[in-house]
Amino acid sequence: MSFYLPTSPGEWLAAASALVTLVIGLATLVAPGPVLRATGMRVDCAMPATLMAGRARMAGFPIGIGFAALAFAQPFLFLALGTCWSASAIGRLVSLAADGGFKVRALALLACDVVLAALPLAYVFGVT
């Protein structure tokens, strides 16, 4: 098996989204407290279950989908990556509407979700 390098600009953008996703997952795995605080969550380090949830669910899935998309470079995996980020953006929109948390941080995180969703989806659907 050899390392695959993207060959088109759209594929490079999709791979960049996968790489950012992988880095977010790895950062959450290594240092869940600071990453969770950066997203606005309150972290109680006296409760190991909080850090365990961060490492398991909030790190495991991004590491898995980011690594798979980079390692296998298949359009279906980039579609899954874009769909995951789209679902995250939809969840953030629902939270903004239902919970009234219109703050600069929430809007910036929504913009990140949208960009990370758009890059692989644009490649898969032939926009780039």
pLDDT tens for 10-23 read 999 999 999 999 99
Q: How far apart are CA 85 and CA 82, in angstroms?
A: 5
Q: Break the chain into its structural domains and give their ranges.
A: 9-124
CB atoms within 10 A of CB 25: 22
pLDDT tens for 30-77 read 988 888 888 877 777 667 777 787 788 889 999 999 999 999 999 999
pTM of the complete model: 0.89
